[in-house]
Structure 1
Amino acid sequence: MVVSNELRTSELPTEGLELGAFEQAGQEAFARLSRDFNPVHLDAVVARRTLFGQPIVHGMHLVLRALETVSGLLPSVAYARIIARFHRPVFLGERLFLQVRPTENGLDLTYVSDGTQLTTISLVARRPEFGDPDWSMAVDHCRTSPREFSIEEMQGYQGVVGLPQKPAEIRAFFPAASQTYGTNRIANLLGITYAIGMEVPGLHSMFATLTVNLLDGVGSDLQFLAKRVTPKLSHVQLQFQSEALSGSSETFVRPRVGAIDFATCRKAVTDGEFRGRCALIVGGSRGLGLLTANLLGAGGAEVVITYRSGEEEAKAAIAVMRENGVAASAIRLDVASPAEAFAGLGSDGISVTDMFYFATPHIFVRKKRLFEDHLLDGFISNYTTNFLSVVEEAKQLAKGGLAVFYPSSDALNNPLKDLAEYYVAKMAGEAVCEMLNRYDDEVNVTVSRLPRLPTDQTATLMNVATDDPVAVLLDICRTMKSRRPNLPNTP
């Protein structure tokens, strides 16, 4: 494919060079090399609480993988300027292609998956390779966990990153790019991802753009500065400077939805108002499910929460409730196959009066068409088939009938194109609930189209008005009680 260091695009596949997929082991190795251990890249449980819903690939890993690929195609050719734009996140396991297009003085590179453009990188100002001279390494004083502070505190925040003391590992990880650009420049680029992911914005960082000018010098550290902060837009502009590069990046602070603590819930309820109830909260280890569990527990109900993957979160939530005198427990439940979990509850003698169904997949997903079959099937399964299976199992543990809460969304009143499958599935779920209420005497289903509430999935970079989740869910808990006439009339 290379003749006289000129790229023949006619010899490249039309869909781009297939790069395969990034996997967990590669994520962890890159994190060790760069010291960027931000959990959004490594921890599936933490990442599910973000707007991405799952771990994402480091933006700098994409840049360096592209440099490695191009350096393999064009030995001895380097570029003095790198401009990257991270349009959409890259997830683990995605089949990736790198499209390469020569420009007047460089290359335009595009990461593509399933026809969707994810990241674009422009390499500008072609020049001979930089070489790989020896360089002194700084004392390594790096954080082991990401910094977390308010966006207002980020203005003017600055520091110095000691570059990774791993030239041999850098060469092993990116051999062609190290030969072309030198391990010192690669180390500087690794310093940038450390600065963003671990220092500022830190824990809740989101990489948007990068512009870097590569210089002829070498050095042992990288300076960074939060030059401009715009809290209203959750935006932080960073500047970088070292002997080997100068540059800037546009980053954002991912929205955070803090859990409402048990003490707040206790203040909201009337003492003992839910005594005599035993509530099963499906998906109760976080978000609205956990808030519901805390409200019911604070009001005297026995609470059983379920989780699918967040065991530690569930254990922590139960510990807090028990410390506050609540009879609380947690079980692992996969709503697609609930029988085993319910068998365990039955053997424990649990008698359920209420069931709240907060199980949900990630709603905002990347797609190409109005309706994607696999998405529609997944949403339908979760909101109808799996819901019915859980109801049937819960009925076996109920005495005197089962009160069920099914959360829908007032967003159904104004559907968005990108959420077509979600809307169809939720409407199907509402129809299922109507049929249960009409023809199943053992259940009484309350359906509520909830207003916009602050959750992991509704959080945005812009400040958007939301309703008070405590008031909304407490009203639902009280409504559920009124629909069970056989419950004792407690205060």
Structure 2
Amino acid sequence: MFVPGLHSILSKIDVTVTEGGTGSSLGYAVKRFQPMLQSVTLDAVGPGLVARVEGFVRPRPVEQERLRDLAALVEPGAFAAVSALIVGGSRGLGAATAKLIAAGGGAVCITYASGAEEAEAVAREIRDAGGRCQVLRYDAAEPAAPQLVALAMRPSQLYHFATPRIFRQKRAPFEPACLDEMMRVYNTAFYELSQFCLERGDAVAAFYPSTSAIDEAPRDTLEYVMAKIAGETLAATLARTLPNLRTVIERLPRVKTDQTATIFPVPAAAPSALMLPIIRRMSAAA
């Protein structure tokens, strides 16, 4: 059933108040559904009203990849020497990274800015399979060190998946406030986290996830692209100038997550398919 329901986005509603009423309860009938546009039109009638509602089918929440499935992709003990701080590890790329490393015998700490229940669910899945996982709250808009003081490991790897909302309505082609937010999360936070990990460990491999949007230049993502270009430069410069820090930079395509879900289907890669080769590179570097 497409409408009404959880997976619907309201576009337009016209309501006419009538004298008397039609029946004793509210009812509806779907008048048109356009699969190509994922649009729905329905008529509703009830006591004292007649209405026409137009909407779209909203993408269903993306199901997280399960550890038991990911474990089949990883050689036992492949990441036994890894201690990974995974920033933004409650969903998507971060959750898949945590599960892959844990499946290979590594220890992980995942952070979340919101969604504590999701983070705890990832940790519980890892622990139930015999893995090691710590959970900490971390907001990339705030200084890193005070928030991570309870970190129980000495990280050998850092994965930086923190992100603000990427796709948003804009009033102008360029919005300085939006760029400031993007730069804080994608640049300043990455620098602070790298410094923090170096202070905790002897050597650190840090992953900077860039984006293929740099080459594609999609509409309305100028600030995002600018911040990611700057982040690539930052990550490369840190690796040249900070002893014992190695960075891996990869321009990732659109990934299948709630953040990138759209009304109209767009090809997107599974997080594990992208991250497993990168984790192997990071582990070889470490």
TM-score range for the pair, normalised by the shorter chain length:
over 0.9
Bigger RCO (CA 8 Å, 6+ sep): 2
Q: Partners in 2 of 1:432 and 1:372 — Cα distance?
A: 22
Q: Partners in 2 of 1:352 and 1:328 — Cα distance?
A: 13
Paired residue type of 1:394: C
- For residues 179-209 of structure 1, give each alpha carbon's deviation from its aligned partner in whole angstroms, at most 9, with x where no partner exists: xxxxxxxxxxxxxxxxxxxxx3412220011
Match of 2:84 among 261, 279, 299: 279
Structure possessing the higher radius of gyration over alpha carbons: 1
- For residues 224-270 of structure 1, give each alpha carbon's deviation from its aligned partner in whole angstroms, at most 9, with x where no partner exists: 22343344433232221124122221111211322112122112222
State the TM-score, normalized to the length of structure 2.
0.93
Which residue does the alignment assign to 1:454?
256
Classify 1:232/1:292 alpha carbon distance in 2 versus 1 (closer, same or farther; 3 Å): farther
Identity of aligned residues (%): 38
Which residue does the alignment assign to 1:342?
148
Structure 2: gaps spanning 5 or more residues:
none
Contact 2:11–2:56, Cα closer than 8 Å, also in 1: yes
Q: Partners in 2 of 1:438 and 1:455 — Cα distance?
A: 33
Deviation at 1:278, TM superposition (A): 0.8
Deviation at 1:417, TM superposition (A): 4.1
Classify 1:263/1:229 alpha carbon distance in 2 versus 1 (closer, same or farther; 3 Å): farther
Which residue does the alignment assign to 2:269?
467
Matches within 5 A, 1:305-454: 305-335=110-140, 336-345=142-151, 348=152, 350-399=153-202, 401-454=203-256
Contact 1:265–1:294, Cα closer than 8 Å, also in 2: yes
State the TM-score, normalized to the length of structure 1.
0.56
Q: CA RMSD in A?
A: 1.6
Q: Partners in 2 of 1:424 and 1:248 — Cα distance?
A: 43
Contact 1:370–1:417, Cα closer than 8 Å, also in 2: no
Q: Partners in 2 of 1:405 and 1:380 — Cα distance?
A: 17
Contact 1:239–1:247, Cα closer than 8 Å, also in 2: yes
Structure 1: gaps spanning 5 or more residues:
1-152, 155-199, 485-491
Tell me which moved more, 214-223 or 454-463.
214-223
Contact 2:136–2:148, Cα closer than 8 Å, also in 1: no
Matches within 5 A, 1:82-121: none
Q: Partners in 2 of 1:446 and 1:388 — Cα distance?
A: 14
User: SS at 1:480's partner residue?
Assistant: helix
Q: Partners in 2 of 1:231 and 1:396 — Cα distance?
A: 54
- For residues 425-479 of structure 1, give each alpha carbon's deviation from its aligned partner in whole angstroms, at most 9, with x where no partner exists: 1101000011012111221000000012112222111111222322111111111
Is 1:248 matched with 2:43?
no
